[in-house]
Each structure stands twice: as C-alpha cells, then as structure tokens.
Structure 1
Amino acid sequence: MTTLRAFARLLRDAQTRAPEDLVRTLEEGVASLGGDSVVLLLVDYEQQVLRPTPEQVAGVEVPTAAVVGTMAGRCFSTQEVLDAPAGDRVQVWVPVTERAERLGVLTLVLPELDEERRLLAAELGLLAALLVLAASSYTDRFHLQRRHAPLELAAEMQWSLLPPLAFACGGTSVSGLLEPAYQVGGDCFDYALNGTTLDLAVFDAMGHGLPSSVLSSLAVGAYRHARRSGVPLPEMIGRMDAAIAGLMGDTFVTALVGQLDVRTGRLSWLSAGHPAPVVVRDGGVLAPAQTPALPLGLGLVDREAATPEELSLQPGDRVLLYTDGVIEARAPDGEEFGIDRLHDLLVREAGSGLLAAEVLRRLVQACLQFQGGRLRDDATLLLVEWTGASST
C-alpha cells in the first residue's frame, strides 16, 4: 500500500505541474529510493539515437546516446533494466515503455541496487512512459526532443496520423516504422484491436511530398471511418475507393487491409494494388501469391467481386506488411534490395529472439545501409506476431 500511495502522489503532482516539468516528478520518485541524477532519454524518429532531458546534470552536459553501442541503447533494444558501477554507487538504465511502444530510457543513480529497488526503478520507467504520453497532448516539448533533424511538413502530417509504433496484448503484438523518418510523405499504416479482431492496414499514396501526404491522410481517414462502421473488408475497400475518387481525382493509393482473429490466428486480407504479406514460420518464409487488383481512387473497385485472401497462422508466426519502397530500394551501384533479400533478413532477424519492435528496427536499418544511409522512396513496414490464442 505504501508503494501504491507513493505512485499515486507522483501522479497527483504531475497533474498540477507544467507538462514539460515531468522530469521533476520522476526526480521525486527516484529521491524516495535515495537516488538522483535523473535523465529522460527519448528515442528519435529514426530510432538511431536517444536524446536527453535535462541536457545537463550537476553542471555536466548529458550526451545523446546511440541506440547501438551504448548502455542506454542496449536497455532500449532489449527492454531490460541494466546497471553498472558509478564510483561507490550504481547507475541504472530503465526502459520507458507503454505496453510495447518503446519511448526511450530513464537513467538514474542509486546508492545500491537490490531486487526491491530494481523493481521500483522498472515501475518508474512505466510511470515515465505514461507521463510522457499524457504530457505530449499539452506540450510540444517531447515531440521536439525526439527530433534529431528538421521534420518536413509532409512528415509532420504523417507522424500525426500514426497510431503508436508498437502494441501488444495477450499473444499478439504489432510494430510499425516509416522511413525516411524526417521526409516521409505518402506511406502510412494503421491498426486497432477491436474485441478479438486486430484490424491492420498499410498505404502507399501516389507521388511524393505534401500532395502525397494529403492523399494518404484521406485514405487513412476513409479507412478508419469504414472500419469503425463495422463493415466487412470488401465494403471497406469500396468506401475508401469512392472517397478518394470523389475528392482527389487523377490520383491513387495502393493499400492492403487485413483482419486477424487473435483467438484463432485466422488472417484475412484484401489488396488494392499492394504487395501481399510475408509470413515467417519455422525459419522459412511463406509468400502468398499476389492477386491482381486495382489501386484505390479510380472508382473501379467491385465490392461484390472482392474476395478476401485467408491464411491460418501458427503460434510463433510473424507477418510482415510493407510498401514497395522497401524492396525497390537501390544501392549506390544500382543493385535493387529485392524481395529475396527482404525474406533473408526477415528470417534471420526473426530467429534472433529479439522483440518484434527491435526486429523491425533492424530491418529498417539494413534497408537504409544498403541504400547508403538514405532512401529515395518512402518505405513502411508493419510486423505482426501471433504466439497463440489470446485471452482478449
């Protein structure tokens, strides 16, 4: 009860402070453990670095931490509480995560680290995640902290459209990423868990930049409106097609919309000119045949003739939805990334034992490195893992 009351007090204090002052609330929680030197590190949009607030502790500058090769980065990647000696004290790194969405890392220094303090430090990380998400509705402070480079207007619009980058419930998890993070325009993804159905969608709007972002926004809005109306997949596709054709004209969006029954693992989907999903199973790849279909926006979708594809997942299966910017990426010498390379990397990373969100981050980084660090087209990936019947 004492611990519960302590956390309740921290939540009450956060309600009355300016939203950008949440680190002060966390400092009070750490002080109750006899600790200090609290720093909140938030991951940037590319998930390559962790950026600190405050930027100085005791007059000493706090550096940005790389996701690869640092203790903070290791904590972020593995989602484990880590510690190391700091003189006669202990420095601790704690994941800042809400469900499966990895927001960053909380660092602090304690006089000692026994099991009770380790548990309480981990719970402070959970509290930090909730405070960051709540505060971000009222201040731009933490949106700006995540920016390692200027964000273009089209990218600003796309990021504001997205659901959380990762989610997990019961035996099902979903993770998504966009690249290039600071210039993305026409790609987007969406998902929602409604009862025992996980709704999924990936979009690739025609063109680049701001016009493409506007088109993508319309597609996502039409999708959510249809999804929340409770209509089946063919009707969803038809309504999205009509909305885009009726307003934009001479444009199109490729899309894949799907539904996963989280109790049974039954996956169904419809493609509108979009690549089929890829399934990783038992160290290999299942690649369902691509069914020819027109993109959205031409006003030609036949709702009566549209028949969803179906596949029964097995426990441990991972399903990747992606846009063509992933496989069409080219190295400086002109070599294409290609579907076979994607399959090989997906199987390798999926077999690493890492969390789905970290597998996806590594896939994106491999794609970026192949193309010399910068993509020439938008690339979006959405990875779903089903480990068995959900209790949802």
Structure 2
Amino acid sequence: MGSSPAPQPENLGQDVDVPPRQNLLRIGGRSVAWVPPLLLLLVIAVIDVNTSREFRVISWIVMVPGIAAALCGVWTTAAFAVLAIATYASVDQAWPDQFQTGLPDFILVAVGGVLAVGACWVRVRGEGRMLHMRDIAETTRRTVLRPLPPRWGGLDHAAVYLAADSVAKVGGDFYDIQPSRFGTRVLLGDVQGKGLGAVDAAAMLLSSFRESGYHTGDLAQVAERLEIGMRRHRFYRVQVGRDDGDRFATAVLIGFPPPDGDTGHVDVINFGHQPPLIVGHGGVRELPSGEGLPLGLGDLTDRPPQVQRVTLADDETLLLVTDGVTEARDAGGMFFPLNATVADAVRTDPAAAQPEHLVRLVRDATLDHCGGHLADDTTVFAVRNVDGGASATATFL
C-alpha cells in the first residue's frame, strides 16, 4: 500500500549483527571467509611449481587479496596481500633467473594487494552504514508498531508485518491494542501511499488512538478524534511545505466491552477498510463493510461513520488484514482467496482459528500464492478475547 523475509508473529523481524555476505560464510558460528582466498593462493602456487617453464601462473596470485577483499575484513585482507607478495617472491625465486617473471609482476602483485585493502575498507564501511541504517529503520518500526505484551488488554493476539520496502522495514500499515476502563480498543489501518509521509501519518494515527482510546468512553468519539487528527496532520504537512495531497487512511476500529459489562459482542467502526473476518469452529463469516469513509475524507459527508454491534463468541477470533493480503496476485493475476483459504483451514483443523496459528496460516498462504513477491505492505492481525482479561485490564488501570 517486495518480497520480504517472513517474520515471526509478534517478532516482526530478525536481528542480524553481521553483514549478509559473512552470514553465508559461517560454520558453527565461526567465520570461514578466509578459506576461499587461502585455497586459491595454494592452488596457484602448486600449479606454478608444477607447470612448464613457458607457462607461469604465479602472477595470478594478485587475485588472492582481491577475493579476500570481497569476503573478509580489512586486516585479514591486508594479511592476504602480504602473504601473496611473500608467496610470489618465494615461488618466483625458486625458478632459474631466465624463467623468473621478475620485478614487473612483483609490482603488479604489490599494487593489487594495496588496492584490495582499500577496496575492502570501502566495502566494510559501506556495510557498517547499511547495518546502522537498518538499526534506525528497526527503531523507527518499533516506535510506530510497538511490541504488544502477551494477552494485552485481555486479548490473545498475534501479528505479522511485511513491509513492501524490505530495507526500510516500515511503511503505512499500522495496528495496536489499547486497554482502558471502557474496554479494550483495537485499531488496524493502512495509510494511502508510500514513503516517509505514510509512516508519519501512521505514527500520528497510532498516537491519537492510544490517547483517545484510553480516555474516551464512546467509541464514536474515538473515531472522531482519529478523523480530526488525520485532517490536522494533513494541514500541518501543508504548512511545513510537505504537502502529501489528499492523503487518507482506511482503518477498522473495534471496541471490546469491559469485563463487567455486556460481553459477547464487539463494536466495530469501518473507515472504508477490508471488513474483518470472524473465524471460529463454526466457520468463517465476514463483518459488514459499513459506509464509513476513509480517515481524512470525513468532510465529504455529513454522516459520521456508524458503530456496528457484532456478536462474537469466546472461541471466535477476529482476523484483520491490509490489502497486501487481499490484493496479492498469483502468476495468472488472480487475487488471493482469503475467505476460502481460512475456511478450508478451519474446517480441516479447528485449532487454526487460534490467533497465532491463523496469522501464520494467512502469511504463508499469501506468500505462496504470490510466489513471495508482495506488491504492497502486508499486515495480518488476529485477536481473541481470553479468560483473565478482566484482571489484566484492572491491573493496568
């Protein structure tokens, strides 16, 4: 709204402290990046010793520090540069004077070693910058999409987020759970567009939701705060010279009643988003889509979005997704059949309705359907009311 590595539910990514190239050259946690250049050096030396006088290959040893520069660190590359020079001199001196390659090739090997060390320094510095930028992106993602504690607000939950930009790791999709004395509120949405402007809008909406969802008793008033916040944010962007146009966000706002209230239902406000699914042992049913406009476009109508009350049993799970799931296409251009896929899975195994299983199922099925090539940010979020929610919420408040 890129194919990305599939993160685990709630983990939303994996931390890796070494560059990808070095990861491929590790065995048992130890680096073996030095093995290829060392083998190459030995092979060249052995071939030169056993070759004819008219065909000398010792000058090929200049490739050794070059290979090390692509695989190893700066000091290891420097060591291979020195080793290459020493090996060249030793092997070449072993030949009679008339068959020695002499000073020109010695200079070639020496200069090649120096250039290899310089190239390695540039490569390692670039990888360091990449890791630093990745850490910044990870921090930004965790600031926007904060990790949720287990059974937060009395809800069993699981989520997976796949950013269209696998390097940035963050986009315009957003979700959160906010406990309050009025019950637990859930929000999932998708900001129109991409880039930092979409991330900025998503962060604003989540901030507004966390405050209004906690302090405001009426779910319709929470929805109103979100709408006003989106308009204010758009106005602010214009004033600072970063006009995003008529940026908007589709979203679903859900209110779970407090434990001492009238349970067995949820209140839903849909801002032009894909309707959530209710998944349980009895099958799959889709919530009504509603008539609400996306956040930021509420001024186009005089009618505020309507609160819809939907029956929800204790063993039923709410499944919310963004259009990275519903608009995923296979090689033939067919959209991913979300409803049918979930229904088949639950019919085969009722345990698939549990949030964590459900999220993994939808994630894997979506990636399989599109061959791992997602065209948009993709979020899968599942929540279910659980026993103990009353005490969890009361303790929080």
TM, length-normalised to structure 1: 0.58
Alignment size in residue pairs = 267
The structure 1 residue matched to 2:197, chosen from 199, 211, 227, is 211
Letter in 2 for 1:225: E
Paired position in structure 2 for 1:222: 208
Query: Counterparts in 2 of 1:118-267, with a 5 A limit?
Result: 151=134, 157-165=140-148, 167-168=150-151, 172-180=155-163, 182=166, 183-195=169-181, 197-248=183-234, 250-261=246-257, 263=259, 264-267=263-266
Structure 2 residue matching 1:194: 3-state secondary structure = coil
| CA RMSD after TM alignment | 4.0
Q: Distance in 2 between matches of 1:52 and 1:247?
A: 36
Q: Distance in 1 between matches of 2:285 and 2:160?
A: 22
Amino acid at match of 2:160: L
Change (3 A) 1:270 1:368: same
1:286 corresponds to: 285
Which runs of 5 or more structure 2 residues have no equivalent in the other structure?
A: 1-6, 31-129, 235-244, 392-397
Mapped contact 2:9–2:160 kept (Cα < 8 A)? no
Conserved in 2, the CA contact under 8 Å of 1:180 and 1:374?
A: no
**Cα deviations by residue, 1:333-352 (Å, 9 ceiling, x for unpaired):** 31210343453366358723
| Structure richer in strand, relative to its length | 1
Q: What is the CA–CA distance in structure 1 between the aligned matches of 2:345 and 2:325, rounded to whole Å?
A: 12
Structure 1 residue 169 displacement after superposition? 6.1
- Of the three residues 61, 64, 68, the one matched with 2:28 is 61
Q: Distance in 1 between matches of 2:184 and 2:279?
A: 19
Partner SS, residue 295 of structure 1: coil
Deviation, structure 1 residue 332 = 2.7
- Corresponding residue for residue 297 of structure 2: 298
Counterpart Cα distance in 1 of 2:228 and 2:176:
19
Q: Which amino acid in structure 2 is aligned with residue 178 of structure 1? A: Y
How far, CA to CA, are the matches of 2:274 and 2:9 in structure 1? 28
For 2:218 and 2:374, locate their aligned partners in 1 and report how far apart those are by CA, in whole Å: 35
TM-score between both structures, scaled by the size of structure 2: 0.57
Q: Which runs of 4+ in 1 moved over 4 A?
A: 42-53, 147-156, 301-305, 387-391
Task: Give the 3 Å change call, closer, same or farther, for CA 160–285 of structure 1 in structure 2.
Answer: same
Instruction: Summarize the alignment of residues 1-392 of structure 1 with structure 2, pairs less than 5 Å apart.
Output: 61-62=28-29, 151=134, 157-165=140-148, 167-168=150-151, 172-180=155-163, 182=166, 183-195=169-181, 197-248=183-234, 250-261=246-257, 263=259, 264-300=263-299, 305-344=304-343, 347=346, 351-352=350-351, 356-387=355-386, 390-392=389-391
SS of the aligned residue for 2:193 comes to coil
Q: Displacement, 1:247?
A: 2.7
Using the TM superposition, give the Cα deviation of residue 273 of structure 1 relative to its aligned residue in structure 2, in angstroms: 0.9
CA distance in 1, matches of 2:140, 2:17: 25
Change (3 A) 1:297 1:353: closer
The answer for the alignment partner of 1:90 in structure 2 is none
TM-superposed CA distance for 1:353, in Å, is: 5.8
The answer (yes or no) to whether the contact 2:267–2:307 under 8 Å persists in 1 is yes
SS in structure 1 at match of 2:305: coil
CA deviation vs aligned residue, 1:263-319 (integer Å, no higher than 9, x gap):
323211111111222111224112122112111112428797433111222121111
Q: 1:320 to 1:44 in 2, by over 3 A?
A: closer
SS in 2 for 1:218: helix
- 2:251 and 2:272 in contact (8 A); partners too: yes
- Quick check: 1:254–1:274 contact (8 Å CA) kept in 2? yes
Partner secondary structure for residue 314 of structure 2: coil
Question: Which 5+ residue runs of structure 1 have no aligned equivalent?
Answer: 1-41, 64-146
Q: 1:305 to 1:242 in 2, by over 3 A?
A: closer
Of stretches 381-390 and 227-236 in structure 1, the one that deviates more from structure 2 is: 381-390
Which has more helix, going by share of residues?
A: 2
